[in-house]
Amino acid sequence: MIRTSLAALAACLALVPSFALAEGPAEKLTVYKGATLIDGTGAPPRPGMSILVKGERIERVWKEGEIAFKLPPETAVVDVAGQYVLPGLIDSHEHLATPPNRPFAEAHLKRDLYSGVTAIRDMADDLRNVADLSRATRIGEIPGPDIYYAALMAGPSFFEDARVQAASLGAKGGEVSWMQAITPQTDLPLAVAQARGIGASAIKIYANLPGEEVARITAEAHRQGVPIWAHAAVFPATPAQVLDAGADAVSHVCMLAYQVSDQIPGQYHKRAAVQEEKFGKSVHPEIAKLLAKMKADGVVLDATVRIYEAMKGRPTKPYCSTELAAQITNQALKAGVIISAGTDGFSAPDAAFPALYEELELLVNRAGFTPMQAIVAATRNGALSVRKDPDFGTIEAGKLANLVFTRQDPSKDIGALRTLTLTVKRGKAYPRTDYDPKADAAVRKED
- Rounded Cα distance between 422 and 149, Å, is 26
> In which band, very low, low, confident or very high, does the pLDDT at 260 lie, cut at 50, 70 and 90?
very high
Per-residue pLDDT, 23: 55
Instruction: For each of the domains in the chain, give its residue range(s) and CATH number, in order of start.
Output: 26-88+393-433 (2.30.40.10), 89-391 (3.20.20.140)
Q: What pLDDT score was predicted for residue 10?
A: 42
- Side-chain half-sphere CA neighbours of 69 within 13 A: 11
Look at residue 266 and tell me whether its pLDDT is greater than 50: yes
Q: In whole angstroms, what is the distance from residue 263 CA to residue 364 CA? A: 33
For 55, counting Cβ atoms within 10 Å of its Cβ (0-12 exposed, 13-18 middle, 19+ buried), the class is middle
d(CA 344, CA 311): 11
Instruction: Label residue 446 exposed, middle or buried (CB < 10 Å: 0-12, 13-18, 19+).
Output: exposed
What pLDDT, on the 0 to 100 scale, is given for residue 67?
Answer: 75
**Cβ(385)–Cβ(249) under 8 Å?**
yes
Q: pLDDT by residue (tens digit) across 174-204?
A: 999 999 999 999 999 999 999 999 999 999 9
CB 428, CB 120: distance < 8 Å: no
16 band by pLDDT with thresholds 50, 70 and 90: very low
Residue 244 burial (CB < 10 Å; 0-12/13-18/19+)? middle
HSE-up (13 A, CA, CB side) for residue 432: 18
Q: Give me the mean pLDDT over the 396-415 stretch.
A: 98
Mean pLDDT of the chain: 93
Q: Closest by alpha carbon to 382, among 62, 103, 89?
A: 89
Return the closest-CA partner of residue 303 out of 323, 329, 276, 321. Answer: 329
**HEC per residue, the chain:** CHHHHHHHHHHHHHCCCHHHHCCCCCCCEEEEEEEEECCCCCCCCEEEEEEEEECCEEEEEEECCCCCCCCCCCCEEEECCCCEEEECEEEEEECCCCCCCHHHHHHHHHHHHHCCEEEEEECCCCHHHHHHHHHHHHCCCCCCCEEEEEEEEECHHHHHCHHHHHCCCCCCCEEECCEEECCCCCCHHHHHHHHHHCCCCEEEECCCECHHHHHHHHHHHHHCCCCEEEECCCCECCHHHHHHHCCCEEECHHHHHHHHCCCCCCCHHHCCCCCHHHCCCCCCHHHHHHHHHHHHHCCEEECCHHHHHHHHHCCCCCCCCHHHHHHHHHHHHHCCCEEECCCCCCCCCCCCCCHHHHHHHHHHHCCCCCHHHHHHHCCHHHHHHCCCCCCCCCCCCCCECCEEEECCCCCCCHHHHHHEEEEEECCEEEEHHHCCCCCCCCCCCCC
Decide if pLDDT at 292 tops 80: yes
What is the average pLDDT across 150-160? 96
Position 13 scores a pLDDT of: 37
Query: Residue 240's pLDDT is what?
Result: 98
Q: What is the CA radius of gyration of the chain?
A: 24
Per-residue pLDDT, 25 = 67
pLDDT at residue 161, as a whole number:
87
Q: Which backbone phi and psi does 63 adopt, to 5 degrees?
A: -95, 130
What was the pLDDT predicted at 3? 41
Winning range, highest mean pLDDT, from 1-15, 29-43, 56-70: 29-43
pLDDT at residue 18, as a whole number: 39
Strands 175-176, 179-181: pairing kind: antiparallel
- Distance between CA atoms of residues 317 and 305, nearest Å: 16
Separation between Cα atoms, residue 262 and residue 76, nearest integer Å:
63
User: What confidence score (pLDDT) does residue 71 get?
Assistant: 87
Phi, psi of 134, rounded to the nearest 5 degrees: -60, -45
Which among 302, 328, 295, 307 is positioned nearest to 381, based on CA atoms?
A: 302
66 has a pLDDT exceeding 90: no
Q: How far is CA 123 from CA 57, 230, 324, in A?
A: 27, 9, 23
* CA angle, residues 168, 172, 173, in degrees to nearest 5: 60
> Cα–Cα distance between 384 and 380 in angstroms, integer?
6
Rounded to two decimals, what is the model's pTM?
0.93
Mean pLDDT of 293-300: 98
User: Is the pLDDT confidence value at 9 over 90?
Assistant: no
Nearest-CA neighbor of 55 among 84, 34, 71, 75?
75
pLDDT digits (tens, 9 = 90+) for 270-290: 999 999 999 999 999 999 999
- 17 pLDDT higher than 90: no
pLDDT-derived band at 447, boundaries 50, 70, 90: low
pLDDT (0 to 100) of residue 24:
56
pLDDT digits (tens, 9 = 90+) for 326-352: 999 999 999 999 999 999 999 999 999
pLDDT in tens, 342-389: 999 999 999 999 999 999 999 999 999 999 999 999 999 999 999 999
